[in-house]
Structure 1
Amino acid sequence: MSLSGKKWIIQNENEGLNLMEKILFNRHINTDEKREVFFKGGLEVIHDPFLLKDMAKAIERIKQAVQNKEPIMIFGDYDIDGITATALLFGFLKKIGADVRYTLPNREEDGYGLKKYFIQRFKNEGIGLIITVDCGTSNLHEVTLANTLGMTVIVTDHHTIPEELPPAYAIINPHQKECHYPNRDICGSTIAYKLVIALSKDLMEDAERKDYLHRQLGIVALGVVGDCMPLTDENRVLVKYGLKSLMASDNLGIMALLESAGIETKKITSTTIGFQIGPRINAAGRLDRPDHALELILGNLNKAELLSQLNDLRRKIVELHLKKAIEGLREQAKIPNIIILWDAEWKAGLLGLIAGRIAEEFNRPAIIMQEKEDEFVASCRSVNDFDITQFLREEANDLFTAFGGHKMAGGFTLPGKNFESFLNRINVAAEKQINPDNFDSVLSIDCEIQPHEMTMEACDNLSHCEPFGQGNPEPMLMMKNIKILSIRPVGGQGEHLQFPIRCGEKTLPAIAFRFGKYLDKIDSNLSYDIAFNMEINEWNGNKKLQLKVVDLKQSRDLEDLRDA
C-alpha cells in the first residue's frame, strides 16, 4: 500500500512507444490530425456562438436594450467563474455605451442565485433587462416574478438542468436537450465570452474587435481553470491563448494581483491560475465581498493587496476547521458512506474547500454545512464520478429552498425544520445505494520512466502538452527502486518534505507537498517506488530538474507480490 493509501494504476506499459507517445496515447491523441490540433490548434477551433440555443434571440434583445438605452442589470455569482463572467459582459457593454450595472450576491447573506428581493430591487431601480451569468437555470420563481413585474430575463448558465426551467426570454445553457452546441463542458465565463463575440460582430470595427477579443482571453482563462473545466476541445485553446494574454499584461488588475503574490508574469501557467491567482480571487467572495475581485479585474489596482490578505486569512481558517473535522471523524467507529458535518462557526464561503478536503481525505462524498439560526447552508463534493447533485435531487429536492450544482460538486439551502428529515433520507439512501468499496482511491499513472529518460530535454518536451488541468492532467510518471538519501521538513510548520533521491546513477532533488504527516513512515534504508510530476525548478537564473512527489510506496511490497 502506498503512503497515501491509493492503488496505483499504470495506464501505458507499451514498450514500443516513447515517453511522449505514451502520454499522448493516454489522452486519446492518437492520430496526426489530433496531434496537429493538440499542439498547434489556434482560435479557429473555437465553436460558433450561435450554435448555442437561444443565442440569436438573446443577442437581438440585448442589442435592442443597448440602442434604446434601456437599463441592463448583469447578475453574477461570488466565485471566480461568476466574477469573470460578469467582468467580461459588463466590461464590453460598458465599452459600447450601454446603460449597464452589475450585482454579485454576498455568499453569507444572499447565497447562490437570484432572490426575489433582488428582483424587486431591480424593478425599483428601473431595470428593463436582467442577464444572469453562471446562474439562473434553477430560478423558476424569481424569473416568474421578474416577468410579472415587466422585466425581461436572459439566463446564461452551465449548471445542470432542473425538471422545470424558468420562463426566461432566452436560456443559454449547453445542457438543454434542444441545444446542439458541440462542447457541453463550458463554464459561465466562456458563455459570457461567446455573448461578447456574437454582440461585437455588428458593434465594433473588425481590427478593434479582434484586438479587444484577444485581450479578454486572460479573463476567460481564469474562469475556465478556476471552475475546473476539462482542458480539452476549445477549452484548451481558450486557456492556451488566455495565458498568453495574461503574460502580455493585457489586464492591469490581474498584473497587480500577480505582483502582490510575487509571481513573475513570464511564468504564468494553468497551475498558477489554479493555485495562486484563483484562490485570491475566490477569497473575496469567501470571506468578504466578491465585488473586491470584480473591481480589481475592471481596473481598481488597489484591491490586489486586499485579495492577498484575504487569501492568507482564508488558508489559516480552513486549516483550523479541517483539523477539527478530521479529528472528529477519526474518532467515529465507522465512517459513513456519505460524510455529513455541520457547525455554526463554519463560514459559508469556506464550506466547499472543507468538503473537498474531507472527500479527498476519506474517499467519500462529503456534505459540509453551516448551521444558521433557522437554516443550513451546504456545499457538497464527490469522488470517483459519483453524481452527488443527481443523488440529492432524487432523494431530497423537496426539502431545499435553493439547490444546484454539477456532477462532482453542488450546494443547497435547507430550512432547519427539514434537517432531521434530510439526515434520515440521505443516510438511508446512502446505505442502500452506495458501496464504499467502489470508492477505492486510485492514482492514475501515465507510465514508468527509466532514470536515463530523466532529462531537461524530456521535461521541456512534456511542457508542450500544457496547459494542464482537468481532462489533460500533468503527466504522472513512476520510477521503481529509488533511494531517499535524506529528508528535510520545509514550510512554516514542516508540512512539506524535501529530499534528494538516487535513481540508477543519478541523484535528483524532490519536493513532496503536504507530506509532512508521513515523515515518520519513511525509512531511508528501504527502496521505494515513486509517483511524481517532472518539472524544471528555476532559482536565481539556475535551472535544474526536480521531482514533484505525488506518492510513495515500498518497492515490491506484499500487494505487488500478490498481483505479480
Structure 2
Amino acid sequence: MIESKKRWQLTSPDEQAVQNLQQALSLSSVLAKILVTRGIDTVDKAEEFLSVELSGIHNPFLMKDMDVAVARIQQAIEAEEKILVYGDYDADGVTSTTVMMTVLEDLGANVSFKIPNRFDHGYGPNAELFKEAHAEGVNLIVTVDNGVSGIEPVRLANELGMDVIISDHHDIGDELPEALAIIHPRHPQGNYPFGELAGVGVAFKMAQALYGDIPEHLTELVAIGTIADLVPLHGENRLLVKEGLRALQDSPMPAIAALADVAGVKQRDITEETIGFMFGPRINAIGRLQSADPAVRMFMTDDPSEARSLADGLDVLNKERQAIVKAISEQAIEQVEARYGDQLPHVIIVAQEGWNPGVVGIVASKLTEKFYRPSIVLSLDLANGKAKGSARSIEGFHLYNELAKNRDVLPHFGGHPMAAGMTLAAADVDELRERLNEQAKRSLTAEDLVPVVSIDIPVSLDEVDTETIEGMRQLAPFGMGFAKPKFYLQGVKVAGIRKIGASQAHLKMELAQNSSTLDAVGFGIGELGDQLTPDVKIDVIGDLQINEWNGRKKPQLLVEDIRTDEWQLFDIRGIRQVSRWSKLIPTQNQVYVAFQQETEAVFSSLLDGPIVSAQSLTEQGAVKDHLVLLDLPDSEEQLSSVLKQLKPKRVYAHFYAQESQYFERIPDRDQFKWLFGFVKKRGSFDFKKNGDELSKHKGWSRETLFFMLQVFFELGFVTLNNGITEIAQVPGKRDLSEAPAYQKRERQIALEQKLLYASYRDLKDWFDAQVSAKEEELWI
C-alpha cells in the first residue's frame, strides 16, 4: 500500500457533452474531456475557445481616462516635451517599459525611461526619482506596471509642474493618486470588459490607442510579460499570449534570438513553458540583484551582437541568483528543521541577517512547496532594526487578510491572498510568528495542510498516443487560470520499474493496461522504486508529454503522485547480506517475526528492531503495517494465523532456512528397504562410528541416513541406544508415512516448495489467497 502525498480532486466530465464535442468538432476523447471539465461544454463555447483571433480584443477606449491619456501624450509629442516612461524591475515591468518606449519612439516622442532600483528606491513611484526627472526637464511621466499606490510621489510631481499618467494593473487601495489619467482595467469608475490584464497588457492597450490599430509587432513582449507575471490566461490575456507565442517563434527582434540562444532552446520551439521557466527567470534576475535597465536595452536594441551581450549578462546574473537562492533556501530549511523537527507549525517564519531581500520571495515559495505551509522569509538589517521580506501562502489562508490583522506590528505590507511583501521592526518578528500561528490554527484544518492537486480527467492507456498529446497544443497557452491538464490513470499495472540517475533519485516505469503500455518518469521519487512490487496495480497522476529520441516520438507520463490500495509482497528470499534488504524496511510500525527458536540468534545483531516469536504474538495492539518474515513457519496455518492477526500492508518474505529439506527430498521405499535389510543382516549398526562410511558408500548425506533410522525407530522397526541401531524383537507392519519424522519432512518439503522455492507469482498468489480469506471473514 502506498498513500498519495497530495489530496486528489478528480473531476468526471459529462459523457454526453464529451461525445457532442467529439462528433461536432472531430476532437479526440481526451481533448473533449478536458474542455468539458474546464466548463467549455458546448459546441459554441468550444468553437469560440479554439478559434483565437486577435481582432477580437476590446476597444482600448473602453478604459476610463484612455482618451485623456492619448490626448496628453499626443500634445507632448507635438510640443516636443520630454516624456519619461517610469517602469518596474520585474519581467512585466521591463516588457511594459519596452512596449511604451517603442510606441512613443515610433510616434516621434522625445522619450526616455527610468526603472527604480529594488534596493535603493523600492517598488513604485519614488519621490527622489521624480525630482531627478524634473531636474532633467521632464514634463510628462507615464508609469507602466506601477503607480496606483504612489499617492505622495504623484502629489510631488504635480507640485513640480509635471503631469503624470498612470498605467497599472495592481490592486487599487482606498485612495487613488491625483494623476492626470489613471489607465487601469479595474478602475472603480470604469467598465472595461476584462479586468485581469498584466501591466504589459495595459501598456499594449495604450499602444493600441496611440497607434489607432492593433500593434501586432508588440505581442511578443506582451506574451513574455503576461506569462512571467502569472496573471490568469483567459479572456483577452489568452488572445494576446496565443498570438504573442506565434510571433515569438519567428520574431525578428534580436533580443528574442539572444534569449533563446542563452537558454539553449530553438526559437521555433518557444512555448509558454519556455517563457515561464527560461526567459522569465533571466529577465527577473537582473532586477533582483541590480538595476534592470540593461534588460530594457536588450529588448530595444536592433543590434544582434549587443542583444546577445546583454542576454549573456542576464544569464550570468541568473546563475548568480540561482546560487544565492540555493544557499538561502538551504539555510532556511535548516532553520525550520532545527526549530521544529517533525512538528511543523501552521505558519513558517524564518529570518536571518544578510539574506538578499531581492530573492526572499523565491525562497518563501520553495519553503511553501516543500513543507506546504504559509511561509515568510525575512532579511534582517540589525543596524537599522528592520526586517524586510516576502510571504507565500496555501489555499485556505488568505495572506493579505491575515497580515492585515497585525497592522500594529506591520507598518508596511501589501499583497494578495497567496503572496505578500512586508517590512517590520526586527524586534517584532517573534510576535508576528506567534500571532500568525494562532490565527492559522483557527482557520486551517488538518486537511488544509495536505497539498491539493486538481485532476482534469481519468484516461485509459488506449486513449494515449502522440497525436492526442500533440493535439493538446490547441488548448494552449497553459498557465494561471488555465493550468496544464493533469491526467489520472486508474489501476494500471507496473510492468517494469527501475531507479535512474546518478544518485538513483528518479524513477522509470513501464505501465500496462490490457494490451497498451506507457513509459512513465518520476523525478525525485526514486525511493518508490523500493516500495513498488512487480505487477502491482497503481493509480497515478501526472502530465502527458512526448519523449523524442533519435527522431522517434513516444508518449510519456511525467509522474506527479502515486497511490495503491493493494497490499504488497516484497521478495527478499535468498539475499544473504541482511544489510542489503534491512534498509528497505520502513522504521515505523514494523515487526520482525521468527517462527523458529534459533532464528533470533542468527539475526539479532543484524537488525535494528526487536525480533518477535510467532508464539508470543498477542491480539492486543498487534496490527502492523510492515511484516518481515525472517524464517519459515512450521505450517501454512501458522503463517496464515500471523497474517490474520497483524493485518500488514506490506510483507517482506525472507524465509531463512538453516537446513533446507527441499533438495534432500524423501528417500524412496527401495532405499528404506535396503537399509532395513542391511541392519537386519548385520544385526546391529553403530551410527556414530560407521555412519559417515555408509553414507559415502551409498551416496547419501549423513542427515538422510539418520532420517531413515529415525523413521524406523518411530515405527518400532528398530531400537536406538547411544547410536547403536538394532532390529526390534517383533517389528510390526506399518506404513512409512505413519512416522512423525516422515510426516514432518513431507510437510516441510511442501512448505519450502510453496514458500521458499516458489516463483514470485506463485508466492504472491498464495498470499493473495490468505488476504482474500481474511477479507471474507470480515464479512461473515
- TM-score above 0.5: yes
Q: Report whether the alignment pairs 1:6 with 2:17.
A: no
Specify whether residues 122 and 390 from structure 1 end up closer, same or farther in structure 2 by C-alpha distance, changes over 3 A only. Answer: farther
Q: Report whether the alignment pairs 1:182 with 2:184.
A: no
Unaligned runs of 5+ residues in structure 1 are 202-208
Contact 1:53 1:173 in 2 (8 A): yes
> Larger Cα Rg: Structure 1 or Structure 2?
2
User: How far apart are the structure 1 equivalents of 2:495 and 2:414?
Assistant: 47
Q: List per-residue Cα deviations over 1:413-448 (Å, max 9, x = no partner).
A: 335466566556544544444546434421111111
Match of residue 456 from structure 2: 446
Instruction: State how 1:152-551 maps to structure 2 within 5 Å.
Output: 152-201=163-212, 213-299=215-301, 300-301=306-307, 302-331=309-338, 332=340, 334-372=343-381, 373-374=383-384, 375-384=386-395, 386-396=397-407, 399-401=410-412, 403-416=413-426, 419=429, 422-423=432-433, 425-435=435-445, 437-480=447-490, 481-483=492-494, 485-490=496-501, 496-515=506-525, 518=527, 522-525=531-534, 526-551=536-561
Contact 2:389 2:423 in 1 (8 A): yes
Contact 2:116 2:126 in 1 (8 A): no
Match of residue 205 from structure 1: none
Q: List per-residue Cα deviations over 1:329-360 (Å, max 9, x = no partner).
A: 23406433332222223212211211112122
Specify whether residues 59 and 268 from structure 1 end up closer, same or farther in structure 2 by C-alpha distance, changes over 3 A only. Answer: same
Q: List per-residue Cα deviations over 1:500-541 (Å, max 9, x = no partner).
A: 43444334332333445x456643434322111111123443
Contact 1:400 1:413 in 2 (8 A): yes
Specify whether residues 520 and 349 from structure 1 end up closer, same or farther in structure 2 by C-alpha distance, changes over 3 A only. Answer: farther
Between 1:77-86 and 1:160-169, the stretch displaced more is 160-169
Between 1:91-100 and 1:418-427, the stretch displaced more is 418-427
Runs of 4+ off more than 6 Å: 1-4
Match of residue 204 from structure 1: none
User: How far apart are the structure 1 equivalents of 2:317 and 2:331?
Assistant: 22
Identity of aligned residues (%): 36
Deviation at 1:278, TM superposition (A): 1.0
Contact 1:395 1:429 in 2 (8 A): no
User: How far apart are the structure 1 equivalents of 2:275 and 2:6?
Assistant: 27
Give 3-state SS (helix, strand or coil) of 1:537's partner.
strand
Q: Report whether the alignment pairs 1:116 with 2:127.
A: yes
Q: List per-residue Cα deviations over 1:16-58 (Å, max 9, x = no partner).
A: 5332222001111112221112111201221121122222221
Give 3-state SS (helix, strand or coil) of 1:548's partner.
strand
Specify whether residues 349 and 503 from structure 1 end up closer, same or farther in structure 2 by C-alpha distance, changes over 3 A only. Answer: farther
User: How far apart are the structure 2 equivalents of 1:188 and 1:22?
Assistant: 33
What's the RMSD between the two structures over aligned residues? 2.6
Instruction: State how 1:29-48 maps to structure 2 within 5 Å.
Output: 29-48=40-59
Q: List per-residue Cα deviations over 1:457-482 (Å, max 9, x = no partner).
A: 22122221111111221111111233
Between 1:495-504 and 1:536-545, the stretch displaced more is 495-504
Deviation at 1:81, TM superposition (A): 0.6
Specify whether residues 63 and 338 from structure 1 end up closer, same or farther in structure 2 by C-alpha distance, changes over 3 A only. Answer: farther
User: How far apart are the structure 1 equivalents of 2:109 and 2:154?
Assistant: 23
Specify whether residues 432 and 224 from structure 1 end up closer, same or farther in structure 2 by C-alpha distance, changes over 3 A only. Answer: same
Give 3-state SS (helix, strand or coil) of 1:216's partner.
helix
Instruction: State the TM-score, normalizing by the size of structure 2.
Output: 0.66
Q: List per-residue Cα deviations over 1:115-137 (Å, max 9, x = no partner).
A: 22112212221211111111111
Give 3-state SS (helix, strand or coil) of 1:486's partner.
strand
Q: List per-residue Cα deviations over 1:343-399 (Å, max 9, x = no partner).
A: 223212211211112122222222222212322222222221643234324532883
User: How far apart are the structure 1 equivalents of 2:449 and 2:399?
Assistant: 13
Match of residue 107 from structure 1: 118
Between 1:495-504 and 1:9-18, the stretch displaced more is 495-504
Match of residue 104 from structure 2: 93
Give 3-state SS (helix, strand or coil) of 1:35's partner.
helix
Contact 2:335 2:350 in 1 (8 A): no
Specify whether residues 535 and 397 from structure 1 end up closer, same or farther in structure 2 by C-alpha distance, changes over 3 A only. Answer: farther
Q: Which has the higher contact order (CA 8 A, sep 6+)?
A: 1
Specify whether residues 304 and 539 from structure 1 end up closer, same or farther in structure 2 by C-alpha distance, changes over 3 A only. Answer: farther
Specify whether residues 68 and 385 from structure 1 end up closer, same or farther in structure 2 by C-alpha distance, changes over 3 A only. Answer: farther
User: How far apart are the structure 1 equivalents of 2:540 and 2:273?
Assistant: 22
Match of residue 206 from structure 1: none
Unaligned runs of 5+ residues in structure 2 are 19-28, 568-624, 626-648, 650-774, 776-780
Aligned-partner residue type, residue 272 of structure 1: T
Q: How many residues align?
A: 548
Specify whether residues 322 and 436 from structure 1 end up closer, same or farther in structure 2 by C-alpha distance, changes over 3 A only. Answer: farther
Aligned-partner residue type, residue 413 of structure 1: T
Q: List per-residue Cα deviations over 1:122-180 (Å, max 9, x = no partner).
A: 22212111111111111112112222222111221111111222222222222332221
Give 3-state SS (helix, strand or coil) of 2:521's partner.
strand
